Structure 1
Amino acid sequence: MQSRQKIAIIVAGGAGLRMGSDIPKQFLHLHGKPVIHHTLQAFLSAYDDMQVILVCPSAHQVIAQEIVAGLSKPSAVKVIQGGETRFHSVKNGLQEVTAPSVVFVHDGVRPLVSTELIQTCYEAAIAHGSAIPAIPMKDSIREVQGEHNKAVDRECYKIIQTPQTFLSEIILPAFDHPYDPLFTDEATVAEKNGHPVHLVAGEEANIKITKPLDLIIATALMQ
């Protein structure tokens, strides 16, 4: 296969409402640095030739640039404006992809993603066209429909993580579709365009920081 760029689109558009904070969760401090710093650095450290697109609201552009300046390779990171929804933010990021690439799309508030998972996703995307990290469900689950509910087999379900990783020729045309509220992640967009997605083993530590307890857990994991 011809040489491919590696491009990580980091989506950082959260407002921090569930954190009960005036500061967006991606800018809260974790182990002495903003959450988003750890996320960006994880991708820069995974591959020497990684290019990163940080997508965030216009109101956060200045602080984002300040954080980027403190990274190991600030020149490899470009900050662009986000959109109305995650779909539109990712679509803005994809406009920066102009050559055959492996494209990672990652939540800005998953700062504990490992080098191993990033590299696993890259290799699986090369082999299968896509790589979606997933972990097993531990708890019992029930399907609820109105006033009725029933137990379902948790072995038939997985918890989906990021980075959701694709060959550019799969993910770029998929995002030509009009926005649909059912597009909860990039995998659903790819599936809508006729591409089944390939699951890889995710990581328990690759948590998404959305609530105060998540920040406590992330701090403990980093220590």
Structure 2
Amino acid sequence: MIYTVILPAAGSGKRMGAGKNKLFLELHNIPILIHTLRVFDRDPNCEQIVLAVKKEEQMFIEQLLNEYSITKVVAIAEGGNERQHSVYAALKEVTSKGIILVHDAARPFIHQEIIQQLVGAAIATGAAVAAVRAKDTMKKVENGIIQETVDRESLWIIQTPQAFQYTLLEKAERLAEVENFLGTDEAMLVERLGERVHIVESTYDNVKMTTGEDLLYGEAILNKREQEEQ
């Protein structure tokens, strides 16, 4: 099941406190961005990769693509101030208008099986996102005071990839731009159209590299995977 993936990679990484784009930080001596790109570059079902990057970082990223032999990047769009703007800029560069995945460039541990489940669900239903069940007790809080305990059985933690039929995602992004609406993720934009977004259960190791602690977790995941391959 063929797809195109968009990787917004224009973030600042302020929460990482690294003083540079967190995607250039290394896990096992390889940049996070390359770990993520390799997942899709090595997937025979991935037809195209489109990046959205900061203009001032594009040359360096192109050097990384050459150094690590990443071959499926067909376009590099200029990223915007918000993730949503970066995704839409990248979407305009897509030439294969079938199933589009949007994936956090800082999530290098997504499994191929989950990707294919998402693509299949998007083909069948129009929209699907990776998610995991909430494990902890959840509370609704206002002004530092618990208002109620929320039933966690109905709560899911949303990840990426998020998968959509091209026409659906393009319509959602275009409407958000016209109405100057800023969503938290692509699924939210599609929800605004009144469309259903389906859940594909993912894994808890599909973590986003956001803080220094996440880097330690990422190293542990890589160590575990290397041991399993031996």
Task: Output the CA distance in 1 between the equivalents of 2:87 and 2:171.
Answer: 13
For residue 119 of structure 2, what is the amino acid of its counterpart?
Y
CA shift at 1:190, angstroms? 0.5
- Equivalent residue number for residue 228 of structure 2: none
Q: Is the 8 A contact 2:2 2:45 kept in 1?
A: no
Residue number in structure 2 paired with 1:45: 42
Equivalent residue number for residue 199 of structure 2: 199
Is 1:53–1:80's contact at 8 Å kept on the other side of the alignment? yes
Question: Which residue of the other structure, out of 79, 84, 109, is the alignment partner of 1:87?
Answer: 84
CA distance in structure 2 between the partners assigned to 1:131 and 1:75 by the alignment: 23
Equivalence map 1:115-194=2 (5 Å): 115-146=112-143, 148-149=145-146, 150-177=148-175, 178=177, 179-181=180-182, 183-194=183-194
CA deviation after TM superposition for structure 1 residue 72, in Å: 4.1
Shift of residue 147, structure 1, vs aligned partner: 5.0
Distance 2:114 2:136 in 1: 24
**Which stretch shifts more, 192-201 or 213-222?**
192-201
Q: TM-score, normalised by structure 1?
A: 0.92
2:211 maps to which residue? 211
Secondary structure of 2:34's aligned partner:
helix
SS at match of 1:68: helix
Contact 2:24–2:31 under 8 Å retained in 1: yes
Residues of 2 paired with 1:56 and 1:27: CA distance? 12
Q: State the distance in 2 between where 1:145 and 1:105 align.
A: 33
Matched residue SS, 1:162? strand
Distance 2:126 2:29 in 1: 37
Could you list the runs of 5+ residues in structure 1 that have no partner in the other structure?
A: none
**Cα shift at 1:99:** 4.2
Give the corresponding residue for 2:24.
27
What is the aligned length? Answer: 219
Counterpart residue type for residue 85 of structure 2: H
Letter in 2 for 1:110: R
What is residue 59 of structure 1 aligned with on the other side?
56
1:77 shift after superposition: 3.9
Aligned equivalents of 1:147, 1:69: Cα separation in 2: 50
Residue 48 of structure 1 deviates from its aligned partner by 4.8
Aligned mates of 1:70, 1:77 — CA distance in 2: 16
Distance (whole Å) between structure 1 residues aligned to residue 72 and residue 201 of structure 2? 31
Amino acid at match of 1:180: F
One of 95, 104, 108 as aligned partner of 2:101? 104
Q: Please, which of 33, 42, 65 is the counterpart of residue 36 of structure 1?
A: 33
Q: Which residue number in structure 1 is paired with residue 226 of structure 2? A: none
Task: Specify the code of the residue in structure 2 equivalent to 1:169.
Answer: T
Q: Please say if residues 106 and 164 of structure 1, whose CA atoms lie closer than 8 Å, have aligned partners that are also in contact.
A: yes
Partners of 1:49 and 1:35 in 2: CA distance: 19
Q: Percent identity?
A: 35
The Cα offsets for residues 97-136 of structure 1, whole Å up to 9 and x where unpaired, read as: 2443110000010011121111111111111111101101
Stretches of 4+ aligned residues off by more than 6 angstroms: none
